[in-house]
Amino acid sequence: MSYLLRRLPLSRLLLLCGLVVVLGSSLTALAFALVSGPTPPPKPLADAVHDALAEAHGQPIEGVSAQIQLTNHLLEGANLASGGGEASQLTSSPLISGASGRLWISKERHVRLELQSEKGDTEIYYDGHTVQMYDPSSNTLYRYTPSAHEGGTEQSAVPDSGAHHEAPTVAKIEEAISHLSKHANLSGATPTDIAGQAAYTVRVTPKESGSLLGGAELSFDAVHGVPLRAAIYSTESSAPVIELAATSISYGPVESSVFEFTPPANTKVEEVVLPEKDGAKPGDSTQGGERPKVTSQGHGLSTIGVLESKTKLGASTSSTLPEGLPQVKINGTTATELTTELGTLLTFERSGVRYLVGGAVPPSAVEAVAKGL
């Protein structure tokens, strides 16, 4: 992870983070509908989960098509647009600013997510192994293919078409809920309607305090067993910071042509390569073969991470965060700070070492750790 942070600009990191969030939400959460529909009968959470999964295995889904709305308030207060350059490009991305669009998932677990914007549609494709994201504002195609040792990600929001898998028993589900309840508070299964479908919503909130993560909500189809909504909340606001929402959803076969994508002419292709699990590869360090040092303070959701990397002699000393962000003093050194509703990032350079400090905590907590370095 340290290698990736060190080699990619923040704008690309956030775009890739946005990709992970949106694609993960797409596969496990299609979203809240704004239309009224049927609501299921009240049930205990374990029974609601069991019955939905049992129905899904009994009636396999051939595919999913949905109209969606992505809401993202994560960087609203950061004033990145005033910085120009990459900062302005970052805020114009529908992954960061939010957008309406469409989503398809096939029986073969192929995925296409389309987010619409004035500068063109951002397209995300997944063929069961490779993830591709086309950014029209820069005419760039980002492509990531897991290596053999990483393994494939063969899970999807569409239940397996084979009926040989059995739904877990109510007892097994209750056991899983009991284990999760040791670390978080779970609500019951609240009956609702989502995308015109009868559904249940569950809210999860952390038991520990100190972080900016206020909780999350997940909604799932009471009949088809498909997760329908995901939302992340901050302790700073009652409204979700990030939410994927659908105004309509339907189940049925999806034409294979939907997942065919030919990028425009002169498209730049960037292959995304994640670092090896044991750290940076030889030759990838900042200077003299030395790897960045990664440490952390605290525990649980309030953990604060610190990345220290030596800078090259004569290299630019510009901040790893976009220009135009607020600056604070850390023991006399000027630091750049990015604050969001879900966490804080702070970076500064001192004595030939670049520090990146961050966590899902308020600025005061990150600054306190930085002052102790």
Fold equal for 2-271 and 293-371: no
DSSP for residue 81: G
How many other β-carbons are positioned within 10 Å of the β-carbon of residue 278?
Answer: 7
Give per-residue pLDDT as tens, 95-147: 888 889 999 999 888 999 999 888 788 999 999 899 999 998 888 999 998 87
* More reliable by pLDDT, 93 or 303: 303
Q: Tokens 């999860």: give the residue.
A: 204
Q: How many residues does the chain have?
A: 373
Has domain 293-371 been given CATH number 3.90.550? no
**pLDDT for position 51:** 92
pTM as predicted = 0.76
Q: Is the distance from CB of 275 to CB of 3 less than 8 angstroms? A: yes
Give per-residue pLDDT as tens, 34-64: 345 689 999 999 999 999 988 877 677 889 9
Give per-residue pLDDT as tens, 252-283: 999 999 999 888 889 999 998 765 544 444 44
**pLDDT for position 122:** 92
In the chain, DSSP finds a helix count (H) and a strand count (E) of 7, 19
Domain residue spans of the chain: 2-271, 293-371
Q: Which CATH number fits domain 2-271: 2.50.20.10, 3.90.1150.10, 2.70.98.90, 3.40.50.300?
A: 2.50.20.10
Question: Measured between alpha carbons, how far is 152 from 255 in angstroms, rounded to an integer?
Answer: 24
* More reliable by pLDDT, 18 or 78: 78
* Cβ partners under 8 Å of residue 41, min gap 6: 191
**pLDDT for position 80:** 60
How many other β-carbons are positioned within 10 Å of the β-carbon of residue 30?
Answer: 31
